[in-house]
């Protein structure tokens, strides 16, 4: 909880990056809220990335092992692997001047459980590029609990 201010600052940086790249519809209305982030922390799913040389917070993400209810139904495709346990990467954000945060996050998560899922907004071209660059394959469309559409991706061992 002591890192909550740093986490919220990183999420604000993520929102800023999205807006500058033309993604105006994702992470609106203050999402992720402090309550969402506090719940991630309480559940043991919140991670903070530190710069190795300075120790400064440069990135954050939620890593959740187990079935995600929003992934139960997928439209216009199918999961690459729908039988083995998986983990999900949510709420990935980094400082605007930091390099390699997404790669470090994805590599760490894959080392924990090499069956990963992630989703992103159709307008989040940066995240779509990052996911594809790191071996994720587009699988179809899922809907969040509030009904919003997201593009769904999965990375499994080759």
Secondary structure element (H or E) that encloses residue 154, with its range: strand 149-155
pLDDT tens digits for range 39-98: 999 999 999 999 999 999 999 999 999 999 999 999 999 999 999 999 999 999 999 999
Mean of the per-residue pLDDT values of the chain: 96
Query: Which one, of 44, 45, 48, 68, lies nearest residue 117 by Cα?
Result: 68
Q: What's the mean pLDDT in 125-147?
A: 97
Contacts of 18 (CB under 8 A, 6+ apart): 24, 26, 27, 124, 126
DSSP state of 48: E
- Domains of the chain in sequence order: 4-155 (3.40.630.30)
Predicted local confidence at residue 158, as pLDDT? 81
Judged against a pLDDT cut of 90, whether residue 5 lies above it is answered with yes
Q: Which residue has the tokens 């994805």?
A: 106
């Amino acid at each position: 909880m002591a890192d909550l201010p740093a986490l919220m600052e990183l999420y604000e940086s993520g929102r800023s990056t999205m807006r500058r790249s033309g993604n105006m519809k994702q992470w609106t209305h203050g999402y992720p809220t402090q309550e969402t982030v506090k719940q991630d922390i309480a559940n043991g799913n919140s991670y903070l990335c530190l710069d190795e040389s300075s120790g400064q917070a440069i990135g954050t993400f939620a890593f959740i092992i187990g079935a995600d209810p929003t992934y139960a139904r997928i439209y216009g495709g199918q999961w690459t692997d729908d039988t083995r346990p998986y983990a999900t990467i949510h709420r990935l954000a980094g400082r605007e001047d930091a390099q390699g945060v997404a790669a470090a996050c994805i590599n760490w998560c894959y080392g924990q459980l090499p069956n990963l899922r992630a989703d992103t907004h159709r307008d989040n071209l940066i995240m779509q590029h990052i996911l594809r660059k790191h071996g994720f394959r587009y699988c179809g469309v899922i809907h969040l609990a509030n009904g919003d559409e997201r593009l769904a991706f999965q990375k499994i061992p080759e």
